[in-house]
Amino acid sequence: FYEPLLPYIPERDAIGQILLMSDYLQEHFLRRPKGIWLAERVWDPSLPRLLRPLGIEYALLDDAHFLNACVRPDQIKGYFITEREGEPLAVFPIRQELRYLIPFREPGEVLDLFRSFPSQEGLCLTYGDDGEKFGIWPGTREWVYEKGWLRRFLRFLKEKQDLIEVLPLGDCLKRFPPEGRIYLPPASYQELTEWSLMPDDQRAFVQFIEELKGKGEWSRYRTFLRGGSWDGFLRKYEEANLMHKKMIQVSRRLRQAPHREALRELWRGQCNCAYWHGLFGGLYMNHLRHAVYRHLLTAESFLQHEVEVRVEDVDCDGYEEWLYNSPLYNLHIKPHWGGAVYELDLLPPRVNLTSVLTRQKEAYHEKIAASVPVDEGGRVKSIHETFRVKQKDLFRHLLYDRFPRFSFYERLLREGTGWEEMWRQTFVALHEPFHYLIAGWRKEKGKVELKMVAKGEEFEAQKIYRLSDDPPQMEVSLLLHSSLSALLGWEMNFNLLSPEDPRRYLVIGGKRVAAGHFGEWKGIKTLFLVDEAQGWRGELSCSEPFSLWLYPVETVNLTEEGAQKTYQGSCLTLVRELKGGRIEWSLTLMFSFPNRRDCEG
Structure confidence by residue, pLDDT tens digits, 503-552: 999 999 999 999 999 999 999 999 999 999 999 999 999 999 999 999 99
**Overall average pLDDT of the 305-322 stretch:** 96
Q: List C-alpha distances in Å: 424 to 402, 551, 578.
A: 10, 10, 23
> Domains of the chain, with CATH numbers?
34-188 (3.20.110.20), 392-598 (2.70.98.10)
Q: Looking at the whole model, is its pTM more than 0.75?
A: yes
Least confident of 112-116, 120-124, 394-398, 416-420: 120-124
pLDDT tens per residue, range 336-386: 999 999 999 999 999 999 999 999 999 999 888 555 443 444 455 555 555
Is the per-residue pLDDT at 595 higher than 80? no
Q: Does 308 participate in catalysis according to the annotation?
A: no
Reported as a pLDDT band with limits 50, 70 and 90, residue 145 is very high
How many whole angstroms separate alpha carbon 594 and alpha carbon 533? 11
The backbone torsions φ and ψ at residue 7, rounded to the nearest 5 degrees and listed phi first, read: -70, -10
Task: Give per-residue pLDDT as tens, 385-427.
Answer: 556 788 878 888 999 999 999 999 999 999 999 999 999 999 9
Cβ–Cβ < 8 Å for 341, 333: yes
Q: Is 121 a catalytic residue?
A: no
To the nearest whole percent, how much of the chain has pLDDT over 90?
Answer: 79
In degrees rounded to 5, what are phi and psi of residue 144?
-75, -40
**Residue 188 contacts residue 63 (beta carbons within 8 Å):** no
- Distance between CA 98 and CA 109 in Å, rounded? 9
Over range 473-486, report the average pLDDT: 95
275 close to 235: Cβ distance less than 8 angstroms = no
The span from the CA of 289 to the CA of 356, in Å, is 9
Q: Are strands 58-62 and 35-37 parallel, antiparallel or unpaired?
A: parallel
User: Which member of 40, 239, 343, 532 is catalytic?
Assistant: 40
39 contacts 153 by C-beta, under 8 angstroms? no
Structural contact between residues 199 and 208, judged by C-beta atoms closer than 8 angstroms: no
Q: Which of 11, 23, 74, 130 is catalytic?
A: 130
Q: Which helix (H) or strand (E) holds 412?
A: strand 409-413
Q: Which of 216-220, 378-382, 490-494 has the lowest mean pLDDT?
A: 378-382
